[in-house]
Amino acid sequence: MTTLPITPPPDSTHLASSKRVLWKWSATLTVLVLVFLMWRCGTALVQGRKLADAAVRQFHERLNAGNYEEIYREADNGFRGENHDDSIRFLGAVHNKLGLAGTATQINVRVDTNTHGTFLTTQYSTAFATGTATEMFTWIKSSGTLKLYGYHIQASTPLGRKEAFLAGSRNRGPEEREPAC
């Protein structure tokens, strides 16, 4: 008669100990990945702010000089998709109605990424010769630089009426974008 060797029951303390170690490593790895992603989003926002400030300064310099053609030519197709003459008239109307652009203070920046690219939407409070205006720029990041994709401005005229101008209406709305940060 043969007897089967009896194996002792597994040591439950050893299994519990190895599960605890695995859980600790998993939690540590998850925390590290989250910290890395937060760091990347933070640096993208800081870099986006710097790029947007420089792009807005350049936009205002060109607007003040009446270089509407240059603004149009350097913009992305999303902005240029509008009728050329209408876009030039729009930029001229902004300049003629509000005067020279002065100090622009950044209010907000948002970075979105989707299959069409990385978009920065920035909002500025800008002092013009005739008063202040709220400008919203949508930029598309291309080779480390920003190209104008959309422009919206809302200004109070000396009469107190609100006027809103919009260019680059082919902007993709937030519902079509996937947030990056």
Whether the full predicted model's pTM is greater than 0.75, yes or no, is no
Residues facing residue 157 across a β-bridge: none
The CATH code belonging to domain 20-179 is 3.10.450
Mean pLDDT of 102-123: 90
Q: How confident is the model at residue 9 (pLDDT cuts 50, 70, 90)?
A: low
Q: What is the pLDDT of residue 128?
A: 93
Distances in Å between the Cα of 101 and the Cα atoms of 22, 94, 132, 136, 169 are: 60, 10, 9, 14, 23
172 pLDDT above the threshold of 80? no
